[in-house]
Amino acid sequence: MDLVALFLPLTLLSCQWIVVPAAEETYWTYTGSVGQSQWSEYFPECSGSAQSPVDVETSQCKHDPTLAPLTPLGYSQHGNQPFTLYNNGHTVVIDLPDWMGLRGLPWLFTAAQMHLHWGSGDPGHGGSEHTINGQRADAELHLVHYNSELYPNISTAMTQENGLAVLGILVETGQEDNQAFDNILDYLGRARHADQKAFIPAFDVEGLLPRNLGRYYSYKGSLTTPPCCQTVLWALFQERVHISQAQLLKLQTSLYSSGAEEPQRMLLQDNLRSTQPLNQRVTAIVVGVMCGCVGLAVIIRFIIKTIGSTSSWDVLPSIRPTPVQRANTSDKRTEQKQDVPLSCTSGAGGTKEEPSSSLQAEP
């Protein structure tokens, strides 16, 4: 098989979307007349051949010894500044400080934001976007990072090859409360309606992650919301995290997709996209495991980078190292982090929102 031929078409992609009149340009939903089957009318890349999420068929995964363990950088150093929690009508987004990052992929990635996907609580209907052997988990947490070695900010990175890295964490319900998730769930009521924003106390983001970061499913895919840019290196952890049934219920019933002014309240639920065909992709697996799609591109990229010259890949440690302090990691982190939600639009690149009147300071 000609690996390079497989890889090249991907490198030529750049994410585009049709500019439509301002009033409508950002509007999309998961179901209905502007639901997922219509997304590609406004966002052509949504019908691309490397879309996310996917079903991970574990029997098709291959172990990729070249994949390194993923190392979160600075996740526990949350600092004194509050985080911003934002209801964008599609999910709840928490902006992450730009000293947080990710090592273990062929480039250094800088954290931008995290958000969740969940269901409606109907029995037998999970709320995760990725599925494992056809099984949906109850919810899914996404930590979005951009390639700060190659690109100046997330709005540029999200449209470019290898621009983003997203960590996917499957969430299941168990017996016990997960204290780390209370750092988010306890404050959902402050941004109940779409477009509301609130400050919340900063917290240890690493507490949201599973313990074993060494095993993950890796593949090349896309944003799971419009404009569906096919610029994402996905790493879906094999280990799941658990929250209590009460915590899941809070996630499913606290937020509205409708604005505060809208007469009819719409609960924000089932904000998940259907799984997309793998097509020619292979999921590469992990240090420990690599599933078909993603790994292939990563390996090829590795080869290209190695040939090309300066690769940080070959100096990666084989075991998970201690998180490095900001000062030691990268001077590229001084880039201003952009306030761009995952669901970007053609106008999103230049807008930095000011705190609105719904913003509530932490007492």
Ligand X SMILES: *[C@@H]1O[C@H](CO)[C@@H](O)[C@H](O)[C@H]1NC(C)=O
CA atoms within 13 A on the CB side of 289: 18
Tell which residue, 17, 28, 45, has the closest CA to residue 222: 45
Q: How far is the CB of 155 from ligand X (least distance, A)?
A: 5
Position of minimal CB gap to ligand X? 153
Q: How far is the CB of 112 from ligand X (least distance, A)?
A: 12
Q: How far is the CB of 335 from ligand X (least distance, A)?
A: 9
State the maximum Cα–Cα separation within the chain, in Å, rounded to a whole number.
61
Other Cβ atoms within 10 Å of 169 Cβ, number = 24
Nearer to ligand X, 165 or 213 (CB): 165
Q: Per the structure block, which two tokens stand in for 235?
A: 């790493």
In the annotation, is 193 catalytic? no
Q: How far is the CB of 349 from ligand X (least distance, A)?
A: 5
Nearer to ligand X, 310 or 336 (CB): 336
Q: How far is the CB of 340 from ligand X (least distance, A)?
A: 7
Q: How far is CA 357 from CA 89, 178, 191, 195, 196, in A?
A: 17, 31, 12, 11, 9
From 90, 117, 142, 145, active-site residue: 90
- Helix 292-308 and helix 3-11: axis angle, to 10°? 90
Q: In sequence order, which residues have a C-beta less than 8 Å from that of residue 290 and are 6 or more positions away? A: 61, 62, 63, 64, 67, 217, 218, 283, 284
Nearer to ligand X, 239 or 335 (CB): 335
Binding site for ligand X (CB under 6 A): 152-153, 155-156, 338, 349-350
Nearer to ligand X, 350 or 363 (CB): 350
Name the region of 251 (left: φ>0; alpha: ψ -120 to 50; beta: rest).
alpha
Nearer to ligand X, 288 or 349 (CB): 349
Q: Indicate which residues carry an active-site annotation.
A: 90
